[in-house]
Amino acid sequence: MKSLSVLILLVLSSITYGQKVSKSERDLIGSGPNSTPMKVIKVTDSAELQILRKKSIVITNPKARLWKKLSERMLATVTNPETKGVGIAAPQIGINRQLILVQRFDKPEQTFQTMINPTILHVSDSTWFRIEGCLSIPIIREEVKRPWEVTVSFTGLDGKQYSEKIYGFTARIFLHEFDHLNGKLFTDY
């Protein structure tokens, strides 16, 4: 009975943490030069909404070239004048993996930062309201209450683990993109 429990645990772990990159994911990531923007999926399409509502999978090999390419293509997407934004999450381009890009208004030397498998370690009691929009939700803008400060942990493209406090608008961007990894949209607030 004990060996059956261990087997079930191993299978569940591989489903959650060890899923290999699918052919469709590879095709989507590899379907153009690194500087080619990707299609942003929208809530207005029922199939795309299902992707946006799905919880994202942990990336087990953050140093893999595939994730660097995905990051570069997501950067091309979020800086493209047609889809310009301050952050983007992998689910927004159809890939349910835990990877986000956040514009770092608090770090002038670094415009966007890639965060793999981000986690929230602490949120402040201090909160604030601000109007938010989303690349995946056309036209709608709503006021959302979020913490002023968050302490986060994430893996960089270099495979190293980082922890830091993020404040203000940068914290808001992080929290918005982090929500995407959990299938949550700002309109849920």
Residues of the chain with pLDDT below 70 are 1-18, 31-32
Pull the structure tokens for residue 90.
């992998």
Would you state the pLDDT for residue 39?
96
Q: Enumerate the β-bridge partners of residue 167.
A: 149
Q: Tokens for 113, please give them.
A: 């930062």
CB-based burial of residue 158 (10 Å sphere; 0-12 exposed, 13-18 middle, 19+ buried)?
A: exposed
Which of 176, 18, 187, 151 lies closest to 85 in space, CA to CA? 176
Do 114 and 97 meet the contact criterion of CB atoms below 8 Å apart? no
Give the domain CATH number at 83.
3.90.45.10
Q: Is the pTM of this model over 0.95?
A: no
Tell me what the pLDDT averaged over the chain comes to: 90
Does residue 149 have an active-site annotation? no
Q: Which of 48, 72, 132, 177 is catalytic?
A: 177
Q: In total, how many domains does the chain have?
A: 1
User: CB count, 10 Å around CB of 11?
Assistant: 11
Q: Which helix (H) or strand (E) holds 116?
A: strand 112-123
**pLDDT at res. 31:** 67
- pLDDT score, position 34: 87
DSSP letters, 124-157, are -S-EEEEEEEETTEEEEEEEEEEESEEEEEEE-T
Q: What is the pLDDT of residue 109?
A: 85
Per-residue pLDDT tens over the stretch 23-44: 989 998 986 688 999 999 999 9
Question: Distance (Å, rounded) from C-alpha 68 to C-alpha 70?
Answer: 5
Q: What domain range is 87 assigned to?
A: 2-188
pLDDT digits (tens, 9 = 90+) for 6-22: 333 333 333 344 578 89
Cα 175–134–42 angle (5° rounding)? 120
Residues in Cβ contact with 57 at an 8 Å cutoff, skipping those fewer than 6 apart: 16, 17, 19, 96, 97, 98
